[in-house]
Structure 1
């Protein structure tokens, strides 16, 4: 394993610069504030390999689907987050020569992502023709003023003689997406002024909205402004200063970014931009940074997981939470999680089932319940798109998309888009999970009952009845394990479909007469749904005592991953897709995912037999895999395995386990560290009767761990150390919990 950053509890820092690791460095030092974000690329031009990426929340483009063989039902477009106008661009001239770290000599390099304060710093000493200048860069995206980006660059002359420094600060719209079809550009510039630029996404043929973004820069500096220039796609200001030996100077760049998501007209957009620019101009750098830092301090106070005795585990855990909070903190109900967040372009930046299956369990425990409710409302508001998706497949009800920005499916891989339909059940499970955890039924009995009803109508139409077996089945699906495509009777999918119908019937028995009338579920429908619940086929092998992942799985050549030569891993980078599909190797938890969802429904022996069979076959080449196996390993007292899998999920990107972090971080899998510790090591469960319980253990490698958990209006602090487990009610009403099956009162 190649580690390019040092291990520190609050920082991701390196004192080395290797050009071959440039993209990894950029991914790992990404910043975001939920409204916008950026990779950790350099402010100045870098002439070697780099992926310059800035992204605006909710701003996307419907890029035409290009496939060789069109199939009925294919999405017309592939939705993708688009690279925003480059508003952090700053170039530097030393005695007239342009700084470029791909070509220049430099020393004393340091790059530091301070996760506690969410600020990125970079420093080095440049050597240009014998002139040495020390540069220090600082930047942050304010969480106090979401539209604000702040940069500060300081320089010091370390030469024996005077040196002339020029700074060219720009807003540059000449950008593209690396994965664009035929190098297409997505922005048309509407207006360029001395300090601002307004751009609009190009027209599209799919009826999706165009987006406008406006950006205005201002500067605070002792340098003299000597030039201003404009082109069709860029506006720039040039500043200059002559520094004597050991003399220092600095320049601040503040940029306000507004988008048409918040304003109806270009005039309103630019008026708001001007107003916000004026607002921040009255504040110093320190004042802006303090307001930003204080909000991050509040977040960490609620959510920080402290691990003593293992700094690698500690850094990984905080890196996970930092990535999540940089992407989404519930401030905008129109937004959701993209699997890469603001750190790259892969997966299009859209919403996947990861939100319901992985993000919601974490956010229930670390944020106000309204944050999770916003995520549920996101799906409810996109029901119209889900109807379209089902209709495209000739089916009733609602099929929520695998990948979306607006509710319409916008992913063009058939085996994922149209076969990985378990996501419908995951969305239903999220409604149940929220209701069980919070005790709040107001959503499930209103908007949630509508979502459940339409999902159930889809399942009732998607199943078919096997006369030969006298059971209902679901053929032609892909389960969570994407190394198995177009299979019949995936256990997880069938189980979720059956459970969803059963849960919906229960909810329908509790809704008000007025809501029941709106839902209009006939007695005939209810009878059909109950029949499916009673006669759903769930693959099972009596000899092995396991739930079979899908029909035919046990006919494969079952050999454990441990028998594979190490140079063949990861499989997805060494084997053909055909070879992977024919193999018994599992990308991520499938049967194990279902057992985690419904832990109370399975016996200790059932969990053990299934884990012991499936884990040795799992290559964990999905970023979502390790955490779920870690929880089940902890539940079965397989401590070493649980800890090893925790380390894999917590440090997945920091240690580049799957050799794919260079194109962006795996944001939604950053839930894995919290899930592994809280659901796994601490054994936290919320049961159907509302009881909160724990079965904690302390990994031998650790001295202690502690975390705070939000639960039904309370904040509970849990500490596990060498003397046992300790529970403290920080705020809220007294509550009874169970610890190792014993009742404990917290006051």
Structure 2
């Protein structure tokens, strides 16, 4: 039986690309920082990264990106004068493991040098109890008497894609702690790392050389003797709210952890992780491969959930490195957010607070992009201020060496609607309106204001249109009436209307204040007029197919394989002006199919099947966001074999690490949290058949043939539930702490689930999808 709680490898050397991939796969994170899955002895040449969430810097004209901290986990060992590295040639055996259950990295390597065998075993974790803290334990054992030298401390040789980002790096010792501190170029924000060590290692020599603040120990190990050291490193920045200096805070945190010791720190960390898994584990029976892949996906999401109170979000490459500038994309709201909304609503709030916090950046972008618009146009690549981080020339052409002009920055305007939809979904699913009153309503209205400013009214057709955009499919730029974008814009107008109506009933005074602040009351009627008159491409009456944008059907039919064979360079980009895909029907990722998922209750099974069948052969899946959309829609019309195939493609993307490392000449490696969220969505919302809309929760599962049972957790309208699906029945168990009885639609039957009680409903397959339209609706 496959261990569904770990992932391991015996690989240790290899090419630069293989090192980068392992660093992604075996990374750790705790929301405050990420540590790439590299080894104790690795340096910047091996892509070690301690990435800090929410701290950014820019050097000269290079891209602005997140800051990496000095590495407080660094240790190198010499055996009889030979420096040991698993990337070198003295390795007898090696194994490294990442444990999903408690976000712990472990490695064991046997080295041979000068006729002696030394076993190095280490484990590390980034504390879930104290987010500023990292903890390491190392054991060294030699088969024969040997001279061993240990160099351990803080490495401030920092790997950056576009650095260096820390200036005036200074090393010192304060009490028991080694300290390295510096400041960023752009904003002079300070970063401080302190490291404290436990271990009876004898005489200590302090050395600051080659940008490393080190302790050196020279030992004479006896045969079979084990040497143990524990390292505790703390990272603090000016983004932290701490009493006293950063150095005092870092030294105090590291020293307190060292006083507790490794075992006590791990126990507190484990307790936090046990509670996380209790609330969100998904169990699959009958399919060990899928179980591990799904748990790994959930594990990745749990690690990068922002720290409470930070108002940070999750970057497109999580905390695995500086790729994509550490920016937040639509990925978060559309692919990661649903997991948190249905399991950890407090974390969902944190993600939305990030959009509230960066609203002024979205306003600045709307006002300055193109001719200038009103309202809020959220950045395609958003960092700490919400200002646009995406450049106009942002994909390198491997054929010419020049950067290509793309329109991701100025034409992917669906991002504002994605944010508004997520903001409203929190209120509908939880029933909690406090976030609306604390900035969420302002976000929604400003997004609607932007679309009203952007839309074009065609008098001869008596309708509004959304022109000159880029939809989810990035190979076709500056198109008119992209179905996804127009649908999202219309939904934003509808949400604005529902919001105003709700606040008028529930919070009239707050509504008056908000409308006055925004000076927007006179525009509300226009929003609803635009909602009624906005053109959104609909299903063809005969075929059911929705044209992705005006003129798409007139493009040359082609297949992804055909274009791949025509490439002049393996990293050639297919879009951007004259790319191979531009004048063909090959699309980068789910576009219409993504719309069918997002608005799944607006379209019937015939339309879903027709569009899936039409667009699937034309889709390259060049984005990690694509496969889960095809999986989810396939569950809607009962094509469970294809749904399962695309589910595995989504859930294993990081485990198998077969993704694109370069787009053009730009390095794009890293983890894929959107795909991780897509795996959860496919399992729970797709195969589990969950619908949550307002006060209504419905469950209509459709299990793939490989699974005999599926069990998952849900939070809805203040209640927490455990759901178990088998081939013959669905059981819903309500937590005893639920404050009331909830009504739930299960397999077509309405049940009432009281606190602490379970209700089982017999079912037969296939179960009609909950909420699926029984007739064609205008879309």
Query: Does TM, normalized by the shorter one, top 0.5?
Result: yes
Q: CA RMSD in A?
A: 2.4
Change (3 A) 1:381 1:575: closer
Q: CA deviation at 1:186?
A: 3.6
1:341 has 2:318 as partner: yes
Match of 1:295? 272
Counterparts of residues 561-710 of structure 1 (less than 5 Å): 561=560, 564=562, 573=571, 576-577=574-575, 578-660=579-661, 663-688=669-694, 690-710=695-715
Residues 571, 580 of structure 1: 8 Å contact kept: no
The farther-off stretch of 30-39 and 480-489 is 480-489
Supply the distance in 2 between the matched residues of 1:601 and 1:242 (Cα, whole angstroms). 73
1:55 to 51, 55, 75: 51
1:32 to 29, 34, 51: 29
Match of 2:555? 556
Supply the distance in 2 between the matched residues of 1:420 and 1:460 (Cα, whole angstroms). 16
Structure 1 unaligned blocks of 5 or more = 1-5, 67-77
Match of 1:113? 98
Change (3 A) 1:402 1:7: farther
Q: CA deviation at 1:131?
A: 1.6
Supply the distance in 1 between the matched residues of 2:462 and 2:411 (Cα, whole angstroms). 24
Structure 2 unaligned blocks of 5 or more = 393-405, 663-667, 755-779
Q: CA deviation at 1:116?
A: 0.8
Change (3 A) 1:596 1:118: same
Residues 60, 81 of structure 1: 8 Å contact kept: yes
Supply the distance in 2 between the matched residues of 1:529 and 1:323 (Cα, whole angstroms). 39
Supply the distance in 1 between the matched residues of 2:203 and 2:40 (Cα, whole angstroms). 19
Counterparts of residues 121-200 of structure 1 (less than 5 Å): 121-159=106-144, 162-177=145-160, 179-180=161-162, 184-190=164-170, 192-193=172-173, 195-200=177-182
Residues 192, 232 of structure 1: 8 Å contact kept: no
TM-score (norm 2): 0.88
Match of 1:253? 231
Residues 197, 234 of structure 1: 8 Å contact kept: no
Q: CA deviation at 1:64?
A: 4.5
Residues 59, 164 of structure 2: 8 Å contact kept: no
Residues 167, 185 of structure 2: 8 Å contact kept: no
Change (3 A) 1:513 1:218: closer
TM-score (norm 1): 0.91
Match of 1:215? 193
Residues 589, 622 of structure 2: 8 Å contact kept: yes
Supply the distance in 1 between the matched residues of 2:13 and 2:57 (Cα, whole angstroms). 34
1:323 has 2:330 as partner: no
1:515 to 478, 490, 511: 511
Q: CA deviation at 1:353?
A: 1.4
Q: CA deviation at 1:16?
A: 3.5
Supply the distance in 2 between the matched residues of 1:224 and 1:330 (Cα, whole angstroms). 39
Residues 179, 195 of structure 2: 8 Å contact kept: no
Supply the distance in 2 between the matched residues of 1:575 and 1:459 (Cα, whole angstroms). 30
Q: CA deviation at 1:625?
A: 1.3
Q: CA deviation at 1:673?
A: 1.4
Change (3 A) 1:284 1:335: same
Change (3 A) 1:743 1:263: closer
Supply the distance in 1 between the matched residues of 2:294 and 2:567 (Cα, whole angstroms). 26
Give the 3-state SS of the residue equivalent to 2:735 in structure 1. Answer: strand
Supply the distance in 2 between the matched residues of 1:84 and 1:643 (Cα, whole angstroms). 40
Q: Deviations over 1:641-685 (max 9, x none)?
A: 111111011111111242439831112321011100111001100
Q: CA deviation at 1:218?
A: 1.2
Supply the distance in 2 between the matched residues of 1:111 and 1:297 (Cα, whole angstroms). 22
Change (3 A) 1:281 1:522: closer
Q: CA deviation at 1:568?
A: 7.1
Counterparts of residues 53-132 of structure 1 (less than 5 Å): 53-65=49-61, 78-132=63-117
Identify which of structures 1 and 2 has the higher relative contact order when contacts are C-alpha pairs closer than 8 Å and 6+ apart.
1
Give the 3-state SS of the residue equivalent to 2:76 in structure 1. Answer: strand
Q: Deviations over 1:495-554 (max 9, x none)?
A: 111221122122122321442343235564223222222221223444433221111111
Q: CA deviation at 1:98?
A: 1.2
Q: CA deviation at 1:699?
A: 1.6
The total of aligned residue pairs comes to 717
